[in-house]
Each structure stands twice: as structure tokens, then as C-alpha cells.
Chain A
Amino acid sequence: MADHVPAHGAHPRQSFLRRYVFSTDHKVIGLQYLVTSMAMALVGGLLVMLMRMQLAWPHSSWPLLGKLFPVGMEGGLMKPEFYLSLMTMHGTIMVFFVVSLALLGGFGNFLIPLQIGARDMAFPFLNMLSFWIMVPACLVMLGSFLVEGGAAAAGWTAYPPLSAIAEAIPGSQMGQTWWIVGMALFIASFTMGGLNYVTTILNMRTKGMSLMRMPITIWSLFLASLLGLLAFPPLTAAAVMLLMDRHAGTSFFLPSGLFFGNKLMEHSGGTPLLWQHLFWFLGHPEVYVLILPALGITLEMLPVFTRKPLFGYRMTVYSLVTISFLGMIVWGHHMYVSGMSPYVGEIFAIGTLTITLPSAIVGMNMLASLWGGLLRLRTPMLFSIGSIVFFGTGGFGGIFLGNATSDIQLHDTYFVVGHFHLMIGGVTLMAIFAGCYYWFPKMFGRMMNEKLGKLHFWLTMPAFYGIFLAMHYIGLAGTPRRYFNFERYEFLANIREPQVWITIAAFLLFIGQFLFLGNFFASIFRGRPAPVNPWEAATLEWTTPSPAPHGNWEGEIPEVHRWAYDYNVPGASSDCTAQSVPAQSVPVTL
């Protein structure tokens, strides 16, 4: 199948626009996604810095910010509705426009053809289109801050009636409509990308690359794309109905008797619970869309930096498949406090707790992969270990939240905030960094600075852990989430000091990321030139020059004769046997 797209290496150089802007090369598109996600991460990070300032020093006035946000922070004091806008946009941007973008758009595009041995994606033009629909999606989201009433303020979950009625909150005026339009563009772009990834992985593998020989990253990207493809359409349907409720006078999500701004609403017959079901039917698989590729990248690092085969490859693949399947049918555990029948809640709780089994298998395989290895603590490995740590800690929190009995106590507290940030913030962020440091040589032909990388890790990891572990505790103490000020609650007097510490850690975390950005962009031009295979890894992308040429391999596409993790095979001349080495030279272990 390798031959249907001709090698482009010999073609004349294309114009700048065709090569770097409207490129159909999966590697360029991957980098475009990655850089876009970095820009969006800066915005998402800045938003949360403002929130943390408000939470730590609620009565302070910030005249400079008052000039920057004349409506939201009039006179330098933050308005509650502005805080809610910040929170909504932080969540939306980070979940959809940072982590999804970096992991699926960035690494998905860059890695899939390189690791399965294909010249490009199945549909290169569709791939380009997918990116250029993502750009307006980002712009619409960011632009929503500038419309009347400000950006959407109903949370990233956009629950009606708050999100459906313009009078409910300033952010529910045009800001919410822009949010829906931005999400629609995002979904269109994601669907194009996802169709492309799934088709490419199924149909474009090189000779010998059977499904059970694919690198674990490819498995995780495959499952994540599949989940996204299956889960996003019902959200599209819900978004269309929300748009109709807002602008066409329908009442899909609005019951009768709603009272806003001293006015009785005319709506009747709908139910906000419908939105919650449709939203979480996407929303829960979406967290697996984020975390599966992160786990895949984490697992990918382990054999390379321990010099031994990945432990339990097959069990890990089966577990990831099981997690994906179960992840589709447990959305109700986000709705335990919505008044659902305890029997229904019980079914969702059993399903959710069942996910701990395959998750624990993946976690144990990670630890067993580390066990007895010859650890090379390079920067990607540090971040990979960080990811395992977050996966473990965050996972324990999940047991409490998946269980209806304890969730009802914890649901509206910072315990939830701490939990999901460790999982879909921490695990994913660590994996994205690990992936950036690891594949940077293949992207740009240069290495990132190792010392700065390690410093970046030691700034990121403790700060991140400090913030979100502390949030578990203030959550257990009863701190409710989504409040912009806790001063009025006597029982929360003793969380004021931790709030300040969390804010300081958040500042440190944010500042630390500039080390990464500086390292990344400076290394593109000044980094040490990278050899073909700097980490001595066995997967296919390391058999082609760094950076990989257009068409990925200059000559024939390599054939695959073994799985991706043949390390320290008895009788081999080196401790790592590339997937393309024939069975006659080195025995095949899987």
C-alpha cells in the first residue's frame, strides 16, 4: 500500500505559501497544530492567572488590569460575571483548543504516517482543510471576548438555562452564540481529522505492520480518534438545538416557568437534563480522547529510556480498547447530583468503577516497564514519569468521584477540580512535553536543550502537583467550585491561606512554561544537530533522516518484521533492534 503516493523527495521546491502555510504535508500540518495549541495555551493560562489573583486576593484592586478590561474589571475590581467568563473560556480553550489540538492535531498528524510507514495521510487535502477550519474556530473563540456582554459564562459544559437565555448572565448574550459557532467549527475540523486518522491507520500501514505490531502511540491515537468520531455528533445535534433555543424560539432545553430579569419566559416543554445527557455523551469520551494519546506517548517513552521491552504490550492494547468502550457508556456519572434515579446512578457507578480495572492494568504495565530497567533520565523520560505519577494520583481521586455515594458530597467542590486537572490537565500536559522533547529532533533536525528541559520539568512538576493536590484538600474541606469569592463564608476561613499558596504555585507554573517555549523556538535555529536516531529507539520514524524529508522516506518505505519494542534481544548486536530489521538477522520476540 506504500506506493500509491509517489515519493515527493525529488520534486522541485514548492513556494513558501504551499510549503509552510497551505501545506498538505502531514508533518507541516502537525507542527501548525502544535504551534497553534501553544498560542492557545498561553491565552488559556493567562485567563487562569486572572482567576487565581481574584481567588487569592479577592478585594485587591488592579488598576492596570482595569484599563485592559474596562468592562469586566471596572476600576480594577473583578466582576463575578467576568470571573465566570474567564472560567468558561479557560476550560473550553484548554480542553478543546490546547490538549485536543496538541495531542491529536499535533502528534496525531506528525506521528501516524511516520510510525506506520506511510508517505502521508490518506487524504492530505482534507488534512489541510481540517487545520484551516481550526484557525477560524480559534479566532471565533478568542473574538467572543470582544462582543457585547463578553465571552460565554456558562462553563465549558454550557448547561442551559444559563447558556440558553440571553437575559440570564451577560455572557449569555452574543458571547454564547460565538461559543457555539466556535465549537461547531472545532467539531467540523476534528471530524475531518479523525476520519483521516482512522482511515490512515487502518489502510495505509506498510508491509508487515500488522495491528498488533503498531507502536502503542498509534493504538492510542486510533482509539482516541474513534471515540471522538463517535461522541462528537450527538454534541453537534445538541449544539444545533441550543442555537435554536437561543435564536429561533424553540424550547428543547427550557421548561416553563423560567423567570429572568423580572420577566416570565415564554418557553415551555423542554428539559435542561436533555442537554446534560447529550453533552456528557460527548464530554466523557472526550476526556478519553485526551488521556489515551497521553498514555500512549508516556508508554512509548518507557522502553526507549529503560532499554527493555514494553511490559504487557498486548494486555495494554486490550485494556485501552476496554477503556474506550466503557468510556462511551458511563457519561451519567457526571450527573449524579442532577436528581437521577439512584438505580440509574448505581448502573453508571458500576460501569465507572469497572474502568478502574483496565486502567489499573495500564498503570501496572507502566510500573512493570520501569522495573529493573537501565533508566536513562533524559528530559522526555522525566516528563513520562511525571505523567505516570499524575495518572496514579488522579486515578485514586476518580474512584471517589465515580462512586455516586461519595460523589454527591464532593461533586460541587474543588475535589473535582483537583481530580480532573491531574488527569486531563497533568497527564496530558506531561505527555505533550515528553512528546515535544522526544520528537523535536525528527521535527526540526535539532535537539532541544537538555539542561533547560530538566529545569523546566523541575519547575513544572512540583508546582502542578502542589496546586491540584491542595485542591483535593480544600475540596474535602467543602470549598465549592465556580465561586469568585469565598470571603463571606465563615466555615471557609481556614482555606484563605492555601488559596494564596495555590495562586503562587500557579504563577510559578505559568512562568516555568516560558522556559519551554524559549527552549523550543530557540532550538529550532540553535539546537545541536540531531542524528537519525538520537534516542536509539526502534520505531519506524527513526529510520529516516532528521528532519524527515517530504514523503517521509527517501527510498523505499521500510518493511516491518517485528513489534516496536525489541530491546536487548539475546543475540542482537545492539540493545535496540529497529522494526525494519529482518528476522534472519535478529530473532523476533513478538
Chain B
Amino acid sequence: MQQTTTENMPRPTWDGGASPFGATWRKLMIWWFIITDGLLFAGFLAAYGFLRLAAGGWPDRSLMFHLDFIALMTFTLITSSATMATAVGAAKQGNRKLALRFLLLTMVGAFAFLGMQAYEWHTLIGQGATLSHNPWGPAAFGACFFLITGFHGTHVLTGALILTITAIRTAKGITQAEGVEMAGLYWHFVDLVWVFIFTLFYLV
């Protein structure tokens, strides 16, 4: 985070001009945006916890989901975070070719995850789960599940589009290392949110 700042910000930090965080204003805003977006999910997940406590009982997830399939989904997403980190590192070293290759790998992970989520939704809806109905127990589970994984899926889709644009612009040589890093920040955030969703919906 400290490296990219110095080229257009010669002055020391905390003295006006440069910032207390030593980041360029573009990266700083991405960070703030991620915080606000994180709080959006915090709101949803707090509501989920609230409703789950209020419901008394909660459906047995091992009957609803194939947990090994969900584990594969999670593995795909986490792996895409790793490839993204490699892409960012390569972009920082100026190795555009390697950065592009790993960006493409990350995109593969993103779209694979989306495909698997679509399959999971399709299966659940086929078994009768809707926003207001849940064949395995409290209706609140269906509402929370579709709303929150849906919101997360939209974020993954947005992330995949950002990755696509970044990949095209990297191939053309427009995007600099910082652009790849900012796309990476958003991508890691989306993955991190999934870790919480995975834990709270499938494991706990």
C-alpha cells in the first residue's frame, strides 16, 4: 500500500498534501467504499442473526445442501483470491503478461462460482424453496438465504465484470499496477464476505 503513493505525492504524510494513510486518493476511496459496502452486509447478517434467534428452530442444513458442493464453491472462490494476489504482484513488478494470465484465471474462478451458485439456487427452487416458503422449516430461512446470497452473487457478478474490464485494459496497456490492485481489493472483499456467509449459513 505504501509503494505506489510516492510517485505523485512527494511530501511526507500527515502534513497536508499527502495523506495520513499514504495512499492515493483513488485507492483511499476504494477502501472507504469497501467499508461502507461491508457495513451493508453487516446489516444483512445482523438481521439474519436476529431472525434466527427469534425463530426458535432452524432447518437442518445437512438435509438441504450438499455441503461438499458448497465446499467446492468456497474453494473456487478462495483460489481466485490467490490468483488475484499473484496478478497484483505481477502487475506491480511490471510483468503485464503474467498479470493478464492470472487475471484471466481469476475470471475463470469468478464465473465458475457464479455458475455453481446458479445451479444451487436452481436445485433449491426446484425442491420448493422460495422467498416466503421453506420446505425444511422456518420461512425466514428461505427469505434470508435468497436475499443475502443473492446480494453476494450480485457483488460477485460486479466483481467479475470489473475483472473483465481490468483484463481488457491490462491487455491494451491502459491499466496501471494501481488499477489492478484496486480491482484486487474489491475482489478480496467479495471473497471475504463469502467466508462470513459460508460460515453463518452453512456451518453454524
Contact = CB atoms under 8 A, between A and B. Distances in A.
Interface of A: 1-2, 4, 116-117, 122-123, 191, 195-196, 198-200, 202-211, 213, 229-230, 232-238, 240-241, 244, 248-252, 266, 268-271, 273-274, 277-278, 281, 560
A251 B15 contact: no
A151 to B, nearest CB: 26
Given A233-B40, A250-B131, A199 B14 contact: no
B122 interface: no
Interface residues of B, number: 43
B113 to A, nearest CB: 22
21 contacts: A1-B17, A116-B16, A122-B25, A123-B25, A191-B36, A195-B29, A199-B25, A203-B19, A203-B24, A207-B16, A211-B20, A229-B35, A233-B43, A234-B40, A234-B42, A237-B40, A237-B41, A238-B43, A240-B151, A251-B132, A273-B50
Given A233-B39, A250-B143, 16 more contacts: A1-B9, A4-B8, A123-B25, A191-B36, A202-B25, A204-B25, A207-B17, A209-B17, A211-B14, A230-B35, A237-B43, A240-B151, A241-B47, A248-B132, A252-B51, A274-B47
A209 B54 contact: no
Contacts of B15: 207-208, 210
Contacts of B171: none
B120 interface: no
A232 B43 CA distance: 10
A292 B8 CA distance: 33
B20 to A, nearest CB: 7
Given A234-B46, A250-B143, A208 B51 contact: no
Q: Which of B17, B21, B25, B147 has the most CB of A within 10 A?
A: B17
Interface in B25-56: 25, 28-29, 32-33, 35-44, 46-47, 50-51, 54-55
Contacts of B14: 210-211
A269 B40 contact: no
A252 B17 contact: no
Contacts of B23: 203
Nearest to B31: A199
Nearest to A202: B19
B35 A278 contact: no
B89 interface: no
Nearest to B54: A271
A199 B29 contact: yes
A252 B54 CA distance: 11
Contacts of A233: 36-40, 42-43
A447 to B, nearest CB: 31
A230 B42 CA distance: 11
Contact of B147 (A117, A199, A229, A240): A240
B78 interface: no
Given A195-B33, A251-B143, A207 B51 contact: no
A205 B43 contact: no
A278 B17 contact: no
A241 B144 CA distance: 9
Contacts of B41: 237
A203 B29 CA distance: 10
B29 A269 contact: no
Contact of B32 (A1, A199, A240): A199
A240 to B, nearest CB: 7
B12 to A, nearest CB: 11
Nearest to A122: B25
Contacts of A273: 50
A252 B25 contact: no
Contacts of B29: 122-123, 195-196, 198-199
B2 to A, nearest CB: 14
Contact of A269 (B16, B18, B51): B51
B120 to A, nearest CB: 19
A2 B11 CA distance: 11
B186 to A, nearest CB: 14
B68 to A, nearest CB: 29
B168 interface: no
A202 B28 contact: yes
A553 B85 CA distance: 42
